[in-house]
Structure 1
Amino acid sequence: MALFRSLLSRGVPQSPPAAALCHGTSRVTFARCLSATKEIPGPKTLPVVGVLFSMLSDKDFDKNNIHLYFKKLFKIYGPIVKLKFPGKPTTVILNDPEDMKWIHHCTKDNPVRGGLEALKKARYLDDYFEKKGGITVEISKERNEEGELTSDLKDLLQKWSLETVCLISLNRHLGSLDPTLPIDSEQMKCSRAAIDFLRCTFECEEKFLWKIYPTKTFKTLQESLKILTEVCDRTLREFKEGIEERNTRDPDRSLNMIEQLLLDPDLSHKDVVTFMIDLLPGGTETMTNSSIVFLYLLAKHPHAQAKVQEEVDRVLGRDLSPITAKQINQLSYIRATLKESFRLLPPAIGTNRILQNDVKIRGYTLHKGWNCIMLSGVSGLDESQFPRPQDFVPERWLRHQPLGQIHPFASLPFSQGTRMCIGRRIFEQNMYILIARTLQRYNLEWRGEDLRREHSIVFNADEEKSHPL
């Protein structure tokens, strides 16, 4: 079976002219930043191949755990490292929260994220999208007599994630959790398409042959995009036809998310379809992997699980009626455990920005067009930022902060600003409900080796190294 498996008081400075944005530590003055800049350190770069030879020949390099390699680079070269990869813009990686705060500030007016080129091309090749790339360019039945899961939990959580995202974004039940569904049903096709969509997007991101000819992975991406487009387009048209009737029947009702989007005069029908296509796979895969991590950490730490259980008993008791917003707001310890889960085993290694102007930082110049990657997945494990960084301590996130103040940019799982994760609120709500409902009925126990994850743009639970929970 597969694995169950306030900005600180320092403040934000006023922006200098865009061509000379400057930042550094307290020892670096503005005048010094404007002087001749130093060469950004990093591993040796060769013509054509860039840093590939240096990276691949390093005994500590593991593509499935690239964050560990980046951590080594920071130890060797300092908090800012320059990398050059074939066919990619110059890349700079950062791990100091103050530097990440500065980059977010410098790019707040026009935050551009790089990557997802294969998805952009797949949409450009489909006339439906009109050359637009989009903005992202039941468990109890599955246990044995000893209470162990007997089926693939990741598969179950993928279906659950897809159902919840569909219910919120498309206002419909897909029905993918029905075990009697035939493999060729629309629900199963849609479920597979959502999974293939993200997998193929990420695989293409790490390779380049799809740019020369349509590889098998790129063709699968195109097919999954076609299936999701047909489902979302048809569903939204059917839903839009009923808006007027619903408004007539209840003129004082509040519009849900999908209705607000469909009635927005600045958005076309295809814009909304594109938004939904981005939300479905991204929300499904991220929520699946984060759910596995969250449940795993609670199973491994019974003291924290007991505190969550106490909170669930106090706020919800045995009441299985729909959880209200007021009740969710009272789940403060669950909120803290989720934040600690993100810090210790983050959903992604970090976030990036393609610089639209030159930026000066620590006496270095980061040039327009460079890809700046802010590795909060590394800073989240930095002892200078988080005492006892390897320990699961949800209490550090409670209001009294017993382990000291936390820099708001030291752990940033959803990014920040106008380009933060579009599904953050949906994701958090579903995670609170998942944990609350699970611990209303079950105790969690882990009976296997430690959770293993592989990295491919985002972290994924390793399905081959799985054990029952």
Structure 2
Amino acid sequence: MALFRSLVFRAVPQSHSAAALSRGTLRLPSARCLSSAKEIPGPKALPIAGVLFSVLSDKDFDKNNIHLYFKKLFKIYGPIVKLKFPGKPTMVILSDPEDMKWIHHYTKDNPVRLGLEALHKARYLDEYFEKKGGITVEDGEEWWRVRKRVGPPVMKLANIRQYVPGMDGVAVDTLDRRLGSLDPNFTQDAEQMKCYTAALELLRCIFECEENLMWKIYPTKTFKTLQKSLKTLTEVCDRTLWEFKEEMKERNKRDPNHSPSLMEQLLLDSELSHKDIVTFMIDLLPGGTETTTSASLVLFYLLAKYPEIQAKAQEEVDRVLGRDLTPITPEQLNQLSYIRATLKESLRLLPPAIGTVRVLQNDIRIRGYTLQKGWCCLMTSAISGLDESQFAQSQDFVPDRWLQHRPLGQMHPYASLPFSHGKRMCIGIRISEQILSILIARTLQQFNLAWRGGDLRRKHTQVFEPVGPFPLTFTERN
């Protein structure tokens, strides 16, 4: 996207040192940026209604494609735009990776975000959770109390690599059944299916509650369904964790010197309660179902649409894994660098969300504008990730750009952030990347992919969701 950079100039934040300027790591501001009275540009805002009428009357506004409307605003007003909606904090949307970098920098010690209010309320209404909502919905001290304990073991790659055999087994089983149910004997009453269905329902209801706020006035049908799904997941995860504790005791008796698994490390942490871990397990489930499914479909689509990329990925898979289905080892997975590059590129081109949100806890200065405490900043990496000034051949699927030698040049580290950044980045990033890498490797090992239709369509709710039909075919390789 071509941005009108000549209209808005960069200001150096007051905290930046002269040494940084001398190193050339920061750009000098224009004199026109020095006034703190500058008004952030954006659509005209009316008293009470804010920009609501301006937005709804715009022929290009489509809530299912809100990113395209934001892109239009950036073209009109520049890389920072102010929006005020009724009943909501003032929102500032940003498209320049350098500005996103400073927002992340200023909020790094206490990263606060909006959203998931319905889930927060449902947990507070449920006596099981004892007014503790977990890292997905909490902010401040309560969020950090849990996040600092679960983060290190879950983000440690060596811990996630322990689960390669299990993830590989699931991928092989799935493909053997042509992407059907993992177990043909499962019924709707089976605990696995109840858990899967509840996770999908929970995610759907969270998104619907974010769109329709009537649940704040009275318990709507959607909110009640959210509560029911949460109850199901709580019962399953609570029972599973108690069973795991018993298994852990037996395992420790047999082999007291064995390396503890990820779950064992969490259970051994005296600062985490049983219910803290159950809540964390529930938070991981929706991300491990719907969002991972959407990301895998996007990658299947792109590989099918670009057969030359697919062939190159298959060459790597054949070289590392061969053509038989012997279990993948962590060492082999580490060698699949091109597979990881295809994943990174798919997340840049068709990311799972518009971007990252931060609520400012202090006034800050960017580009000569004052952004006030309490304002909400949306950093639109879904737009910066397609900016030609940031990525050469930005509209094309070019995994090679992520290889170590960077054949298309260096990229701004904040231009594509599909999993956010810093302390509040997606805690399931390692798990998601590993699952997707294994699934794609196993698929390309056995099948050639083809897409028999037009471009993949997606709609935006709280995240991007692929819209069917999906004319994707799997043909067994010779």
Bucket of the pairwise TM-score, normalised by the shorter protein: 0.7 to 0.9
**SS class of match (1:443):** strand
TM-score normalized by structure 1?
Answer: 0.85
**SS class of match (2:110):** coil
Matched, 1:451 2:456: yes
What residue is the counterpart of 1:201 in the other structure?
A: 206
Matched, 1:397 2:402: yes
Matched, 1:256 2:257: no
* Residues 281-300 of structure 1: CA deviation (Å, up to 9, x unaligned): 12212111000000110011
**SS class of match (2:280):** helix
**SS class of match (1:196):** helix
**SS class of match (2:451):** coil
- Structure 1 segments of 4 or more deviating over 4 A? 12-17, 31-35
What residue is the counterpart of 2:223 in the other structure?
A: 218
State the distance in 2 between where 1:239 and 1:181 align: 22
Match of residue 187, structure 2, among 182, 186, 191: 182
| Amino acid in the other structure paired with 2:188 | I
| Amino acid in the other structure paired with 1:413 | P
What residue is the counterpart of 2:156 in the other structure?
A: none
Matching of residues 452-467 of structure 1 within 5 Å: 452-463=457-468, 465-467=469-471
What residue is the counterpart of 1:89 in the other structure?
A: 89
Post-superposition offset of 1:114: 1.4
What residue is the counterpart of 1:54 in the other structure?
A: 54
Match of residue 417, structure 1, among 405, 422, 425: 422
Structure 1 residues 176-185 or 222-231, which shifts more? 176-185
Query: Is the contact between residue 315 and residue 327 of structure 1 (CA under 8 Å) also seen in structure 2?
Result: yes
Post-superposition offset of 1:91: 0.8
Post-superposition offset of 1:15: 4.5
What residue is the counterpart of 1:43 in the other structure?
A: 43
What residue is the counterpart of 1:330 in the other structure?
A: 335
Post-superposition offset of 1:459: 0.7
Post-superposition offset of 1:322: 2.2
| Amino acid in the other structure paired with 1:243 | M
Matched, 1:115 2:120: no
Can you give the 5+ residue segments of structure 2 that lack an aligned partner in the other structure?
1-11, 18-24, 138-162, 174-179, 474-478
Higher-RCO chain (CA-CA 8 Å, sequence separation at least 6): 1
* Residues 405-451 of structure 1: CA deviation (Å, up to 9, x unaligned): 11110001011111110100000001110011111111111112221
| Amino acid in the other structure paired with 1:297 | L
| Amino acid in the other structure paired with 1:127 | E
Match of residue 388, structure 2, among 383, 403, 407: 383
Query: Is the contact between residue 202 and residue 456 of structure 1 (CA under 8 Å) also seen in structure 2?
Result: yes
Matching of residues 102-141 of structure 1 within 5 Å: 102-137=102-137
Post-superposition offset of 1:180: 3.0
TM-score normalized by structure 2?
Answer: 0.83
State the distance in 1 between where 2:181 and 2:338 align: 31
State the distance in 2 between where 1:400 and 1:304 align: 18
State the distance in 2 between where 1:200 and 1:25 align: 44
State the distance in 1 between where 2:115 and 2:317 align: 40
Matching of residues 145-294 of structure 1 within 5 Å: 177-294=182-299
Post-superposition offset of 1:34: 7.0
| Amino acid in the other structure paired with 2:211 | E
Query: Cα distance 1:389–1:267, how it changes in 2: closer, same or farther (>3 A)?
Result: same
Query: Is the contact between residue 176 and residue 191 of structure 1 (CA under 8 Å) also seen in structure 2?
Result: no
> How many residues in Structure 1 have an aligned counterpart in Structure 2?
419
Post-superposition offset of 1:325: 1.7
Query: Cα distance 1:250–1:14, how it changes in 2: closer, same or farther (>3 A)?
Result: farther
* Residues 100-146 of structure 1: CA deviation (Å, up to 9, x unaligned): 01111111111112111111011111111111121111xxxxxxxxx
What residue is the counterpart of 1:371 in the other structure?
A: 376
Query: Is the contact between residue 202 and residue 286 of structure 2 (CA under 8 Å) also seen in structure 1?
Result: yes
**SS class of match (2:448):** coil
**SS class of match (2:93):** strand
Post-superposition offset of 1:26: 2.2
State the distance in 1 between where 2:384 and 2:297 align: 22
Query: Is the contact between residue 176 and residue 188 of structure 1 (CA under 8 Å) also seen in structure 2?
Result: no
What residue is the counterpart of 1:428 in the other structure?
A: 433
